């Protein structure tokens, strides 16, 4: 009897222990109970409040305390006690010295952890730099990093590629559109004595507002002074943005002075003078954003040296650039050049300054102005003995250009272009470095191929229709420079160098 009782007690104890083990196993299984979907299983986040209760974590983000903000988590697996950073830009600096007051991250916007439009390629900081905003509760006096340029390691409020205008290049108000009916002034060229060589010096200072190697500027001599307008190369402008700067050189004071700037930058402009006014027609013009150029314009105006002002003339009928402008018998002739840098043209436009109402024409009731027989651009042009000369030039542009050594002469009395003796060296970019002097024509420097520059000087004698090379050259190689003669002395400026030169003709 006693033995049977002990057996029953043992069986009861065994059953009780088995029941207790099963309950413990079920409780332990809750910690690993997965929430599985068709494609993947992710374990439910659980927090053990006490030894008897297991509760799911809240669905909203928890308050992170003493935990480093790391914007590198892209997996759907959310680490416990770390705010979820979704689609965070790469290469954002990670602070290893963890601030103690981390703000509560609640409903963090997608792709923007703390800063708007954070740039890529920002180097990782091993310790938080002093000028980088830290993730603390509303830092004071720390700017918000917004639209920071790419590849900039230090956030800055200064945008890149911002053109800083200079005071000398400020556009003046557009001149009145009402044009005068007459223009006063007659050309009075100086004729120095015959000479066989030129002695050069660098006594001429660099224009104070041209402390750079300007090219493709335009100029003319009026009243014993040399005027220079526009060109390429102004600091602060892109390489293909024409300058508005304009200057005048006084050889008596040996100084340059700024004059009224162009309304918009210009290069490749046809230029001529009547002895008081300087006419500017066509050319490459500064675009409307001030960061490039338009390869042709209808600009037609004059600069009055007596009043330091610009006045509009009737615009040329179609865009032109790199052609030649001549003043003869109160008429302006614009010949050749290009149309939008695409087509070489030989068109011959004429503006009668005594009849501005008619505007530019290519024909009258009596005749059609003869076109240039060999259309080309970047040539040289002068008026000598009542005839127009078109010298050298090129076809095409830049690396694909071909230089030309043709010389043509136009006679207004017969309306005929005649081909003259070729210049010995085919040259282009000589538009403002060709001048008539002592009954002859001189061509200074220029190009033969794109990027080359020369220092040669060639002289043409119309009496014999022959060319010769001067025995001495310019002191330096140049192209697209400006030459002027004042009281028998030559002045050469710009052309891709910062030095200006004085030349004394010598027997």
Quick check: 277 pLDDT over 50? yes
Map residue 185 onto helix, strand or coil: coil
Map residue 5 onto helix, strand or coil: helix
In which band, very low, low, confident or very high, does the pLDDT at 255 lie, cut at 50, 70 and 90?
confident
Question: In this predicted structure, what is the pLDDT of residue 187?
Answer: 36
Residues 189-506: name the CATH superfamily: Kelch-type beta propeller (2.120.10.80)
Q: What is the mean pLDDT of the chain?
A: 73
Quick check: 387 pLDDT over 90? yes
CA–CA dist 350, 160 (Å, integer): 46
For the record, the structure tokens of 309 come out as: 């002002």
In which band, very low, low, confident or very high, does the pLDDT at 163 lie, cut at 50, 70 and 90?
very low
Please name every residue paired with 134 in a beta bridge, in sequence order, or none if there are none: none
Give the DSSP letter string of 412-426.
Answer: TTTTEEEEEPPPSS-
More confident site: 239 or 66 = 239
Question: What are the phi and psi torsion angles at 169 (to 5°)?
Answer: -105, 20
Give the DSSP letter string of 103-133.
Answer: PP--SPPTT-SSSTT--S-PPPPSS--TTS-
| Per-residue pLDDT tens over the stretch 77-92 | 333 333 333 333 334 3
- Number of alpha helices (DSSP H) and beta strands (DSSP E) in the chain: 1, 34
Give, in order, the Cα–Cα distances in Å from 373 to each of 300, 303, 313, 345, 349. Answer: 25, 31, 28, 10, 14
In terms of Cβ atoms closer than 10 Å to its own Cβ (0-12, 13-18, 19+), residue 398 is exposed
Quick check: 372 pLDDT over 60? yes
In which band, very low, low, confident or very high, does the pLDDT at 117 lie, cut at 50, 70 and 90?
very low
Question: In this predicted structure, what is the pLDDT of residue 46?
Answer: 28
| Per-residue pLDDT tens over the stretch 278-335 | 999 999 999 999 999 999 999 999 999 999 999 999 999 999 999 999 999 999 999 9
Can you tell me the mean pLDDT for 423-449? Answer: 97
Count of positions (residues) in the chain: 507
Question: In this predicted structure, what is the pLDDT of residue 1?
Answer: 58
User: In 3D, which of 436, 383, 427 has the Cα closest to residue 409?
Assistant: 383
More confident site: 20 or 488 = 488
Are the C-beta atoms of residues 321 and 295 closer than 8 Å to each other? Answer: yes
Can you tell me the mean pLDDT for 385-406? Answer: 96
More confident site: 136 or 215 = 215
pTM of the model: 0.64
Quick check: 173 pLDDT over 50? no
| Per-residue pLDDT tens over the stretch 188-207 | 344 455 788 999 998 777 66
Are the C-beta atoms of residues 93 and 71 closer than 8 Å to each other? Answer: no
CA–CA dist 394, 325 (Å, integer): 17
Quick check: 419 pLDDT over 70? yes
Question: In this predicted structure, what is the pLDDT of residue 17?
Answer: 58
Quick check: 104 pLDDT over 60? no
> Any idea of the CA torsion for 132, 137, 142, 143, to the nearest 10 degrees?
100
Question: In this predicted structure, what is the pLDDT of residue 205?
Answer: 73
Are the C-beta atoms of residues 465 and 441 closer than 8 Å to each other? Answer: no
């Amino acid at each position: 009897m006693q033995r049977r009782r002990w057996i029953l007690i043992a069986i009861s104890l065994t059953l009780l222990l088995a029941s207790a083990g099963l309950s413990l196993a079920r409780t332990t299984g809750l910690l690993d109970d997965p929430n599985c979907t068709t494609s993947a299983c992710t374990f439910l986040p659980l927090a053990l409040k006490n030894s008897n209760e297991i509760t799911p974590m809240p669905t909203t983000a928890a308050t992170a305390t003493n935990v480093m903000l790391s914007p590198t988590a892209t997996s759907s697996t959310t680490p416990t006690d770390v705010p979820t950073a979704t689609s965070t830009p790469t290469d954002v600096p990670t602070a290893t010295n963890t601030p103690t007051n981390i703000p509560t991250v609640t409903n963090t916007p997608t792709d923007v952890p703390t800063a708007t439009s954070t740039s890529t390629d920002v180097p990782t900081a091993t310790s938080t730099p002093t000028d980088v905003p830290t993730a603390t509760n509303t830092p004071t006096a720390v700017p918000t990093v917004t639209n920071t340029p790419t590849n900039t390691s230090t956030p800055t409020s200064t945008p890149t590629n911002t053109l800083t205008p200079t005071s000398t290049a400020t556009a003046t108000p557009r001149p009145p559109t009402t044009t005068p009916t007459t223009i006063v002034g007659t050309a009075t060229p100086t004729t120095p004595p015959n000479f066989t060589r030129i002695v050069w010096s660098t006594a001429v200072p660099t224009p104070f507002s041209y402390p750079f190697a300007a090219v493709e500027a335009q100029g003319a001599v009026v009243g014993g002074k040399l005027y220079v307008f526009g060109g390429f190369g102004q600091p602060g402008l892109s390489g293909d943005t024409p300058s508005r700067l304009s200057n005048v050189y006084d050889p008596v004071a040996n100084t340059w002075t700024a004059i009224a700037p162009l309304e918009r930058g210009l290069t490749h402009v046809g230029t001529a003078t009547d002895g008081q006014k300087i006419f500017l027609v066509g050319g490459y013009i500064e675009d409307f954003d001030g960061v490039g150029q338009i390869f042709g314009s209808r600009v037609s105006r004059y600069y009055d040296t007596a009043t330091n002002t610009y006045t509009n003339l009737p615009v040329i009928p179609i865009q032109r650039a790199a052609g030649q402008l001549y003043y003869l018998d109160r008429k302006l002739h614009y010949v050749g050049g290009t149309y939008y840098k695409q087509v070489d043209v030989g068109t011959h436009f004429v503006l009668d300054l005594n009849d501005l109402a008619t505007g530019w024409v290519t024909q009258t009731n009596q005749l059609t102005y003869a076109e240039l027989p060999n259309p080309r651009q970047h040539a040289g042009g002068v008026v000598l003995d009542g005839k127009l000369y078109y010298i050298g030039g090129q076809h095409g542009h830049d690396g694909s250009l071909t230089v030309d050594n043709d010389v043509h002469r136009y006679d207004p009395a017969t309306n005929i272009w005649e081909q003259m003796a070729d210049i010995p060296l085919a040259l282009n970019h000589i538009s403002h470095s060709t001048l008539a002097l002592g009954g002859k024509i001189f061509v200074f420097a220029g190009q033969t191929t794109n990027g080359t520059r020369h220092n040669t000087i060639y002289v043409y004698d119309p009496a014999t229709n022959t060319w010769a090379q001067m025995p001495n050259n310019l002191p330096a190689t140049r192209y697209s420079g400006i030459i002027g003669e004042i009281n028998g002395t030559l002045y050469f400026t710009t052309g891709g160098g910062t030095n200006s030169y004085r030349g004394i003709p010598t027997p």
